[in-house]
Amino acid sequence: MTHAAHHPATKPFRKRFADAAEPYLYSAPALILIVAVMLVPLVLGISYAFRDIQLLNPFSGRFIGLDHFRALGQDQAFFRALRNTLWWTGASVFLQFVFGLILALLLDKPFAGRGLAQALCFLPWAVPSFLAGLNWAWLFNPVIGPLPHWMYAFGILDAPNNILSDPQLAMWGPIIANVWWGIPFFAITLLAALQAIPRDLYEAASIDGAGPVQRFISITLPFLAPTIAITILLRTVWISNFADLIVVMTNGGPADRTQIVASYIFTQAFKRLDFGYASAIALVLLVLLLVYSLLIVLLRQTLLNKD
Amino acid sequence: MASIDIEGIRKSFGAFPVLHGVDLAIRDGEFVVLVGPSGCGKSTLLRMIAGLEEVTAGDIRIDGKRVNDLAPKDRDIAMVFQSYALYPHMSVADNMSYSLRLRRSTKEKIASAVSGAAAKLGLDPLLERRPRALSGGQRQRVAMGRAIVRQPKAFLFDEPLSNLDARLREQMRAEIKKLHGDLRATSIYVTHDQIEAMTLADRIVAMHGGVVQQVGTPLDLYDRPANLFVAGFIGSPGMNFFEGRYLVSGDHADLKLENDVTLPARRVGGIESGEPATLGIRPEHVVITEGGALEGRVDLIEPTGFGIIMHVTVHDVPLKVFTLNRAMLNPGATVRLDLPRDKLHLFDGEGRRLG
Ligand SMILES: Nc1ncnc2c1ncn2[C@@H]1O[C@H](COP(=O)(O)OP(=O)(O)OP(=O)(O)O)[C@@H](O)[C@H]1O
Ligand SMILES: [Mg+2]
């Protein structure tokens, strides 16, 4: 009898449990994968920032709270690297964008041999970054490269020296290499966006009385704005984390003049083997980039909502 | 307002010729409709007048001034596109005022021009919307509004109604006609819809294969088509044709068909007896009568509501008849027909009109 009385109660409970668990069970594989692949390393990495982890010291590893961040607040090298990062990222993104946009506008017009020109323009994108860095380092080297002699001939340099060893100019070396290497990214994405603009809008505008500049301002730019916002966001985050060219071309020198936060983290982690401190710096960079990304995403939303 | 003169206009895309020497003189305030089948070069001609296509050879004059080498913005014309080409990121009001803002008109002038055009087209409640939030018909009106806010020398329309449903097209057709009556602006209107052409035009330009076939008032083209192409293109259902040989006997003429049947024809000049000719008659001019000279076998009845289109076979030649007689919904197997002589059209072997 008890069994009979109990039975109708358990069945709905099991059923209720199954109903409640169903969505979680469906999403479990994806969630487990995300947690295992993305969150676990992230949380571990963040936890290093609050621990004393030095690779060569077997007694390190204890929890030290905010000590790393206090040290960071006093670290002049870190602040210099932060300023360099702004400079490196700002100049690289700006120049990549401007030249990428010009290239996209040129490639958008039909002309003989456009296919070949497009293929050639997108070539730098396929070059490995270390190879690009080495290549540009050689180009800037007066012993084997032509660039210092050309710049001297044009009066840009007082003498055909290597700008990579000039503390005032060294940052321009990796920036130029980075611009060369990154133009195709902007050119490709902006060209795709340009080609999605209906041609008859330009025709209507030219009949309405718009010249080339007015057509660019009132049609091309509004259509490109969302793409511009998202590509600049992506590139900024990516370039501020991108130390390959700097490590290969100047290794942060001369006298830390080209040290950016990303290469500083690299130096702390793999030269001084202080993983805890390197993680703390990385965490600060992460927070800064998150704030920046949030701002851009908000900007993009307002731009899109305006329509 | 201005006249537009087109002299010996040719156009080739690469080596592919599209227009073969078009001459056309459009008077100030005239409404001219370009009609023709798809691919005959109507849009190309219109776009050349607008300045959107290079002129391969010949001259285009607006108000007596040669404009071949002027940019579209310097020609002072307005155009309504088939796709409307509204600026999607601007409100309706901004779409309409764009050309005035480019010309740096004063705020008051822009406001009054926009509200005037909006009132004419019933766009007042929509001024703040984006084109995305409009129906096809409303977009069409905005495109018209954009054209009329600044008083241009001429309006160009490229199939502006072809994306609308039949009812709306009818309504907009009437509105365009009314607008033209108000504004009296020189207009060139491209369409392949012959009803639009007939109802709107002061003069119709019928084109085929990049060549102008006939220029004239709608009734000219309907009553006296210059050649077989125009005869077949204008009118719906299309004109009936019989091919044969023209035979003269006294003051009397006949057309002898392949199968030795003779049809009555008219005595006209410009053709010798025995030469090949084509006889044409519009379906609405064929008379169904007890004492008709021809016997037709009824193949098909198409009631249109207004009238009835009958497909019949006369001496093995298919013939369409349009009648308002409801009794013909249930005709017998055969009907007797007459082809009134004064309604016949005759064309010579090259397809040119005779008489
Ligand atoms: N940019 C171009 N390059 C090459 N050929 C073209 C180009 N534009 C048009 N043509 C050709 O020119 C001819 C005339 O085209 P057009 O657009 O003037 O025709 P249309 O009379 O307007 O036809 P529809 O009624 O279909 O719009 C067509 O055969 C078309 O293929
Ligand atoms: Mg066309």
Minimal-distance CA residue to ligand 1 atom 14: B41
H/E element holding B42? Answer: helix B42-50
B169-228: pLDDT as tens digits: 998 899 899 989 988 999 999 998 888 999 999 999 999 999 999 999 999 999 999 999
Query: Residue A209 is nearest to which of B73, B81, B83, comparing CB atoms?
Result: B73
Question: Shortest CB distance from B73 goes to which of A198, A200, A210?
Answer: A210
Domain spans, chain A: 76-306
As for ligand 1, residues whose beta carbon falls within 6 Å of it are B 13, 16, 18, 36, 38-44, 192
Residue B174 pLDDT: 92
Q: Which of A1-5, B2-6, B293-297 has the least mean pLDDT?
A: A1-5
Yes or no, beta carbons of A205 and B98 under 8 Å apart: yes
Q: Do A204 and B81 touch (CB under 8 A)?
A: yes
| DSSP per-residue string spanning chain A | -HHHHHHHHHHHHHHHHHHHHHHHHHHHHHHHHHIIIIIHHHHHHHHHTTB--BTT-TT---B-TTHHHHHHHH-HHHHHHHHHHHHHHHHHHHHHHHHHHHHHHHHHS--TTHHHHHHHHTGGGGS-HHHHHHHHHHHH-TTT-SHHHHHHHTTSSSSS--GGG-TTTTTHHHHHHHHHHHHHHHHHHHHHHHHTS-HHHHHHHHHHT--HHHHIIIIIHHHHHHHHHHHHHHHHHHHHT--HHHHHHTTT-STTTT--HHHHHHHHHHTS-BHHHHHHHHHHHHHHHHHHHHHHHHHHHHHHHH-
Handedness of CA A249, A252, A258, A262 (dihedral sign): positive
Name the pLDDT band for A2 (thresholds 50, 70, 90): very low
Question: Residue B42 Cα, ligand 2 centroid: separation in angstroms?
Answer: 6
Query: Ligand 1 centroid to B231 CA: how many Å?
Result: 23
Residue nearest to atom 4 of ligand 1 (CA): B13
- Output the six-digit token pair for A277: 């401190």
Interface probe, candidates A203, A208, A223, A302, chain B, greatest B C-beta count within 10 A = A208
Size of interface A-B (CB pairs under 8 A): 59
Look at A9-18, A33-42, A99-108 and tell me which has the smallest mean pLDDT.
A9-18
Q: Which of A98, A86, A137, A30 is nearest to A239 (CA)?
A: A86
Average pLDDT over every residue of B307-314: 94
Total Cβ atoms within 10 A of residue A219: 21
Residues of B in contact with A205 (CB under 8 A): 87, 98
Round to whole Å and give the CA distance between A265 and B70. 61
Contacts of residue B202, Cβ cutoff 8 Å, sequence gap at least 6: B30, B31, B32, B217
Q: How close is the Cα of B93 to the center of ligand 2, in Å?
A: 28
| Confidence label for B32 from pLDDT (cuts 50, 70 and 90) | very high
Largest CA distance in chain A: 105
Residue type, A274: D
pLDDT per residue over A65-74, tens digit each? 788 888 888 8
CA B49 – CA B184 distance, rounded (Å): 19
Residues B46/B156, Cβ–Cβ less than 8 Å: yes
Report DSSP letters for B62-112, one per residue: ETTEE-TTS-GGGS-EEEE-TT----TTS-HHHHHHHHHHHTT--HHHHHH
Q: How confident is the model at residue B16 (pLDDT cuts 50, 70, 90)?
A: very high
Cα angle for residues A148, A151, A153 (degrees, 5° grid): 110
> What is the average pLDDT across A212-238?
90
Whole-number Å distance, alpha carbon B33 to ligand 2 midpoint, is 13
- The pair of structure tokens assigned to B138 is 């409303």
The residue among A137 and A305 whose pLDDT is bigger is A137
What chain A residue is nearest to B99 in terms of C-alpha separation?
A208
Chain centroid offset of residue A133 CA: 17
Residues of B in contact with A219 (CB under 8 A): 87
The pLDDT, as a whole number, for residue A7 is: 54
pLDDT on residue B315: 86
Contact A149, A142 (CB under 8 A): yes
**Helix spans in B149-193 (H):** 166-183
Q: Report whether B211 contacts B13 (CB < 8 A).
A: no
Distance between CA atoms of residues B6 and B185, nearest Å:
18
* CB B207 within 8 Å of CB B41: yes
Pocket test for ligand 1, best of B11, B43, B52, B205 (most atoms within 8 A of CB): B43
Residue B132 contacts A, CB cutoff 8 Å: yes
The rounded Å distance from CA A108 to ligand 2 centre is 24
- The enclosing H or E element of B219 equals helix B218-223
- Taken in order of first residue, the domains within chain B and their CATH numbers are 4-233 (3.40.50.300), 240-354 (2.40.50.140)
Write the burial class of residue B88 (CB in 10 Å: 0-12 exposed, 13-18 middle, 19+ buried): middle
| The pLDDT value given to residue A9 | 53
Using a 10 angstrom Cβ sphere, with 0-12 exposed, 13-18 middle and 19 or more buried, the burial of residue A61 is middle
Residues of B in contact with A204 (CB under 8 A): 79, 81, 85-87, 146
Separation of alpha carbons B40 and B11, rounded Å: 12
- Report the alpha-carbon distance of residue A254 to residue A272 in Å, rounded: 19
Q: Tokens standing for A281?
A: 């710096």
- Contact by Cβ (8 Å): B150, B98: no
Q: Which residues contact A222 (CB under 8 A, 6 or more apart)?
A: B89
Residue type, A117: A
Q: Is the pLDDT of residue B18 over 60?
A: yes
The pLDDT tens digits of the residues spanning A141-170 come to 888 888 888 988 888 888 778 888 888 888
The CA distance from A109 to the nearest CA of chain B, in Å, is: 15
User: How far apart are alpha carbons A303 and B210 in whole angstroms?
Assistant: 47
Closest CA to B232 of B283, B159, B271, B277: B283
User: Cβ separation of A307 and B71 shorter than 8 Å?
Assistant: no
pLDDT tens per residue, range B311-347 = 999 988 899 999 999 988 888 889 999 999 889 999 9
What's the whole-number mean pLDDT along residues A216-228?
Answer: 91
Contact B102 A222 (CB under 8 A): no
Return the C-alpha torsion angle B36, B40, B44, B50, nearest 10. Answer: -20
Nearest residue on chain A to B82, alpha-carbon basis:
A200
Closest residue of chain A to B133, computed from CA coordinates: A307
The DSSP output letter for B285 is: G
Give B210 Cα–ligand 1 centroid separation in angstroms. Answer: 10
Give me ligand 2 centre to Cα B89, in Å.
26
Residue B100 distance to chain A (closest CA, Å)? 8
Query: Residues B262, B265, B267, CA angle at the centre, nearest 5°?
Result: 130
Show Cβ contacts of residue B54 under 8 Å, excluding neighbours closer than 6 positions.
Answer: B48
How much distance in Å is there from the Cα of B46 to the middle of ligand 2? 9
Task: Write the CA distances from A268 to A62, A253, A255, integer angstroms.
Answer: 19, 15, 16
Q: Which residue of A has its CA nearest to B104?
A: A209
Q: What is the pLDDT of residues A124-133, one digit of tens each?
A: 888 898 999 9
Q: Is B46 on the interface with A (CB under 8 A)?
A: no
Q: Residue type at B189?
A: Y
Q: Whose CA is nearest to atom 31 of ligand 1?
A: B39
pTM (predicted TM-score): 0.81
Question: With 80 as the cut, is the pLDDT of residue B21 above it?
Answer: yes
User: Strands B31-35 and B57-62: what pairing?
Assistant: unpaired
pLDDT tens string B106-153: 999 999 999 999 998 889 999 999 999 999 889 999 999 999 998 899
The yes/no answer on whether domain A76-306 falls in CATH 1.10.3720.10 is: yes
CB < 8 Å to B86, chain A: 204
Nearest CB partner across the interface for A209, out of B50, B88, B103:
B103
Q: So what's the pLDDT on residue A1?
A: 43
List the shell of residues around ion ligand 2, using CB closer than 5 Å. Answer: B 43
Query: Side-chain half-sphere of A84: how many Cα atoms within 13 Å?
Result: 31
CA distance A57 to A273: 10
Alpha-carbon distances of A272 from A226, A275, A277, rounded to whole Å: 43, 8, 10
pLDDT of A139 above 70: yes
Measured between beta carbons, the chain A residues lying within 8 angstroms of B50 are 203, 207
Strand-pair category, B262-265 with B252-257: antiparallel
Closest residue on chain B to A206 (Cα)? B73
Indicate whether A105 pLDDT > 80.
yes
Ligand nearest to the CA of B207: 1
pLDDT at position A62 over 90: no
Chain B residue closest in CA terms to A203: B52
Q: Which helix (H) or strand (E) holds B32?
A: strand B31-35
Ligand 1 atom 2, closest CA:
B13
Query: Which residue in the set B71, B87, B88 is minimally distant from A206, CB to CB?
Result: B71
Using 50, 70 and 90 to split pLDDT, how confident is the model at A10?
low
